[in-house]
């Protein structure tokens, strides 16, 4: 077995492979390449793969296969890939307008206080660099990116919200996300984008893929309506003027 | 024009199937029937594909009327099932004539009843499944007056002797106790709970009303994480037992978000998940520790029982000259 990751049982119908001893970038590359490789071999009984930042969940029907078989194929594919698999698709860049603070990002003051910086500095850091999409996750295919270069990790809310507005831009730990649909959530909210994140009539329903990048651009609340008819897919490789 | 099934009393009812497969990577949870075993058996009893659309009826009374002759099967939680006022069995195929009212009332001990129709009905699909996704807003509950278009006409069911088909198909009926035993295996992060992990098995937990197909919240003496530190979001399995915060245990079910950042103490087994899909708020759960081989053996036995039922259904349908839709 490759020494770059460990495999653990995750109940009777799943395994989780985790990259170890690798930096964030090669760890992420490895688990996504492994997910692609596992999909390509179409192993009987395996129905879902969930590659994230440094881990890969493999879900299967244990009436049709077993842990040992899936483990063996994972190890074989990892050995075949080698430690530094190349990316398979060219990344795209999405420029995403965000109204920060106020009712749009009610946790902005609290996050600034926790990190010991000003609200303006939080906004500058969040919108100051391209953030890479690492995986699609909860809720509803949310784009999960690297966190902005904050001085330290952002704690989750002590009491999660029962409903987070769609388009909310949130951070936690060393991660950031856009919440595509109204849903419960425990991540502090910095702002909100007026653009529609998902398109239920396309397949997949998300325009972005792991490896793509997001650049958040601050806009004023009165600019909300200018972007309200747009979908995230319309913003690929686009330019948004500063407000 | 195709025959229809008209909903008369809706209660809480949705069109379901076994769920969305292969979309976890795009962040979409499986969803689908909360009690997969009962849903599967209902379709098998109608000669349908296991994945055919069927109705999931939760807790409240339900009634519907077909415009043509149909064959149905009702599985899941114990309930009073009548056709035009006559009591009919659950877990067996039941013929229904055009215009007769099917009533399902008094659902008890369990939470969800499944109703399948021979040939199934038309349903809207999203990403390969008709299962509702409440986060995406797909698959709203049915309302009184809604009609479902039946996919295949079912000729009147003819019995060579009595014209009344009497089925004795011996479908595998799971127990519906008042206090549930739910099987779990160790989760990948059990060590993060130290000795407190054992609390999962020491005393019962009570299911709170804040429970649904996304997850069940349980009250009891909860284990405590003994490690600290940030966990990067990663894929979590259906059935993951987590302790997010406070004094509640969270058990993820089929609508769970595919990623989370909490350590996984234990994972409910495949057979345990079907049982968990039937537990009512207020009922108690005892968790029972299983090894992986024990869990897998139980799941395979349950599936083999369904496979054997499928064979008996085929034989019975051939004898009664019922055309099984799956082979049509």
Using the Cβ of A141 and the Cβ atoms of chain B, whether some distance falls under 8 Å is answered with yes
> What DSSP assignment string belongs to B173-201?
PPP--SEEEEEEEE-TTGGGGGGGGGHHH
* pLDDT beyond 50 at B327: no
Q: Which of A8, A12, A204 sits opposite B26 (nearest CB)?
A: A204
pLDDT of residue B231: 80
| Mean pLDDT of all residues in B124-138 | 96
Query: pLDDT at residue A242 above 70?
Result: no
Count CB neighbours of B28 within 10 A.
Answer: 29
A70 touches chain B (CB under 8 A): no
Rounded Cα–Cα distance for residues B250 and B3 (Å): 43
**Interchain contact, B237 vs A183, CB within 8 Å:** no
Q: Are A181 and A198 in contact (CB under 8 A)?
A: yes
A53, A63, A141 ranked by CB distance to B234: nearest = A53
Is B25 within 8 Å of A50 when comparing Cβ atoms? yes
A195 touches chain B (CB under 8 A): no
Q: Which residue of B has its CA nearest to A187?
A: B261
pLDDT of residue A195: 96
**Separation in Å, CA of B152 to nearest CA in chain A:** 28
Count of CB atoms within 10 A of residue A151's CB? 9
Confidence label for B328 from pLDDT (cuts 50, 70 and 90): very low
Considering only CB atoms, A138 lies closest to which of B127, B237, B260, namely: B260
Q: Which residues of A touch B238 (CB under 8 A)?
A: 13, 59
pLDDT of residue B159: 54
Q: Which residues of B touch A203 (CB under 8 A)?
A: 127
pLDDT-based confidence at residue B323 (cuts at 50, 70, 90): confident
pLDDT tens-digit profile of B136-185?
A: 999 999 999 999 999 986 666 655 555 465 688 999 999 999 999 999 99
Helix B36-45 and helix B292-319, axial crossing angle in degrees, nearest 10: 20
CA angle at residue B58 from B55 to B64, to 5 degrees?
50
pLDDT in tens, B207-240: 999 999 999 999 999 999 988 777 899 999 999 9
What residues in B contact A185, CB-CB < 8 Å? none
Per-residue pLDDT tens digits for A195-241: 999 988 888 899 999 999 999 999 999 999 999 999 998 888 765 54
Can you tell me the distance from the alpha carbon of A76 to that of B303, in angstroms, rounded to the nearest whole number? 30
The reply to whether A208 touches chain B by the CB within 8 Å rule is no
Predicted confidence (pLDDT) at residue A3 exceeds the cutoff of 80: no
DSSP per residue over B102-164, as a string? Answer: EEEE---SSSEEEEEETT-B----BTTB---BTTTTBSPPP-TT-EEEBSS--PPP--SSSSS
Collect all residues with Cβ–Cβ distance below 8 Å to B24 and sequence separation of at least 6. Answer: A48, A49, A50, A57, A59, B30, B235, B258
pLDDT of residue B326: 53
- Of A33, A31, A74, A70, the C-alpha closest to A51 is A31
Mean pLDDT along residues B251-274: 96
Buried b (16+ CB within 10 A) or exposed e, A76-108: ebbeebeeebeeeeeebebbbbbbbbeebbbbb
**Is the Cβ of A16 closer than 8 Å to some Cβ of chain B?**
yes
B292, A9: Cβ pair inside 8 Å? yes
Mean pLDDT of A50-73: 97
pLDDT of A243 strictly over 50:
no
Q: What is the pLDDT averaged over residues B21-37? A: 97
Q: How confident is the model at residue A58 (pLDDT cuts 50, 70, 90)?
A: very high
Which of A138, A178, A199 is the mutation pick for testing B, counting most B CBs within 10 A? Answer: A138
E-strand ranges in chain B read 4-9, 13-16, 54-58, 62-66, 70-76, 80-83, 86-87, 93-96, 102-105, 112-117, 147-149, 179-186, 205-207, 215-219, 234-235, 240-242, 248-252, 259-260, 266-268, 284-289
Question: Which of A14, A141, A158 minimises the CB distance to B28?
Answer: A141
* pLDDT tens for each residue of A12-40: 999 999 999 989 999 999 999 999 999 99
Q: Average pLDDT for residues A130-139, to the nearest whole number? A: 96
A172-186 mean pLDDT? 94
- Kindly list the structural domains of chain A, giving each domain's residue range(s) and its CATH number in brackets, ordered by start: 5-81 (3.30.1360.40), 93-235 (2.40.100.10)
Contacts of A122 (CB under 8 A, 6+ apart): A108, A111, A112, A115, A150, A190
CB pairs < 8 Å spanning A and B: 158
Mean pLDDT of B120-145: 96
Domains along the sequence of chain B with CATH: 4-175+303-327 (no CATH), 179-290 (2.40.100.10)
* Binary contact (A136, B25; C-beta < 8 A): yes
Chain A hits for B187, Cβ within 8 Å: 10-11
Assign A71 a pLDDT band (cuts: 50, 70, 90).
very high
Alpha carbons B118 and B151: distance in angstroms, whole number = 9
Tell which of A5, A12, A46, A176 to mutate to test the B interface (max B CBs under 10 Å).
Answer: A12
Q: How far is the alpha carbon of B162 from chain A, nearest alpha carbon, in Å?
A: 40
- With beta carbons under 8 A apart, name residues in chain A contacting B239: 11, 13
Residues in chain B: 328
């Amino acid at each position: 077995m490759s020494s770059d990751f460990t495999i653990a049982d995750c109940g009777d119908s799943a395994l989780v492979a985790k990259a170890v001893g690798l930096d964030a970038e090669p760890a992420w590359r490895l688990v996504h390449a492994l997910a692609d490789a596992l999909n390509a071999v179409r192993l009987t009984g395996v129905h879902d793969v969930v590659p994230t930042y440094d881990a890969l969940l493999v879900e299967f029907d244990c009436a049709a296969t077993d842990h040992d078989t899936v483990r063996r194929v994972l190890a074989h594919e990892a050995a075949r890939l080698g430690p530094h698999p190349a990316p398979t698709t060219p990344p795209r860049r999405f420029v995403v307008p965000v109204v920060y603070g106020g009712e749009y990002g009610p946790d902005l003051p609290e996050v600034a206080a926790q990190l010991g910086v000003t609200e303006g500095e939080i906004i500058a850091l969040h919108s100051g660099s391209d953030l890479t999409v690492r995986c699609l996750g909860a809720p509803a295919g949310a784009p999960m990116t690297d966190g902005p270069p904050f001085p330290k990790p952002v704690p989750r809310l002590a009491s999660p919200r029962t409903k987070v507005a769609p388009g909310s831009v949130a951070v936690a730990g060393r991660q950031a996300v856009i919440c595509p649909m109204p849903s419960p959530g425990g991540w502090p909210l910095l702002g909100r984008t007026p653009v529609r994140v998902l398109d239920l009539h396309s397949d997949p329903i998300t325009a972005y893929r792991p490896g793509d990048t997001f650049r958040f651009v601050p806009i004023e609340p009165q600019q909300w309506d200018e972007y309200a008819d747009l979908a995230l897919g319309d913003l690929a490789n686009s330019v948004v003027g500063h407000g | 024009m195709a025959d229809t099934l008209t909903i008369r009393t809706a209660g809480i009812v949705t069109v379901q199937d076994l769920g969305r497969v292969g979309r976890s990577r795009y962040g979409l949870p499986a969803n689908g029937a909360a009690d997969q075993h009962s849903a599967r058996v209902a379709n098998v009893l109608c000669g349908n594909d296991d994945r055919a659309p069927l109705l999931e009826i939760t807790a409240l009374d339900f009634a519907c009327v077909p415009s043509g002759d149909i064959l149905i099967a009702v599985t899941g939680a114990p309930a009073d099932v009548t056709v035009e006022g006559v009591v009919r069995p659950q877990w067996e195929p039941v013929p229904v004539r055009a215009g007769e009212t099917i009533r399902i009332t008094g659902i008890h001990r369990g939470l969800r009843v499944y109703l399948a129709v021979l040939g199934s009905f038309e349903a809207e699909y999203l990403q390969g499944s008709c299962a509702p996704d409440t986060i995406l807003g797909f698959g709203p509950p049915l309302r009184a007056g809604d009609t479902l278009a039946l996919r295949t006409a079912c000729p009147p069911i003819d019995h060579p002797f009595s014209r009344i088909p009497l089925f004795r198909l011996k479908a595998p009926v799971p127990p519906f106790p008042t206090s549930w035993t739910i099987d779990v295996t160790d989760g990948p992060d059990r060590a993060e709970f130290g000795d407190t992990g054992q609390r999962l098995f020491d005393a019962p937990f009570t299911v709170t009303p804040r429970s649904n197909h996304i997850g069940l919240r349980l009250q009891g003496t909860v284990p405590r994480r003994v490690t600290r530190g940030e966990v990067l979001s990663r894929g979590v399995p259906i059935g993951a037992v987590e302790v997010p915060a406070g004094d509640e245990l969270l058990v993820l079910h089929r609508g769970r978000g595919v990623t989370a950042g909490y350590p996984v103490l234990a994972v409910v087994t495949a057979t345990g998940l079907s049982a968990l899909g039937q537990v009512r708020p207020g009922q108690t759960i005892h968790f029972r520790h299983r090894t992986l081989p024990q869990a897998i053996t139980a799941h395979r036995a349950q599936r083999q029982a369904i496979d054997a039922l499928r064979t008996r259904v085929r034989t019975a349908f051939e004898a009664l000259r019922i055309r099984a839709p799956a082979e049509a």
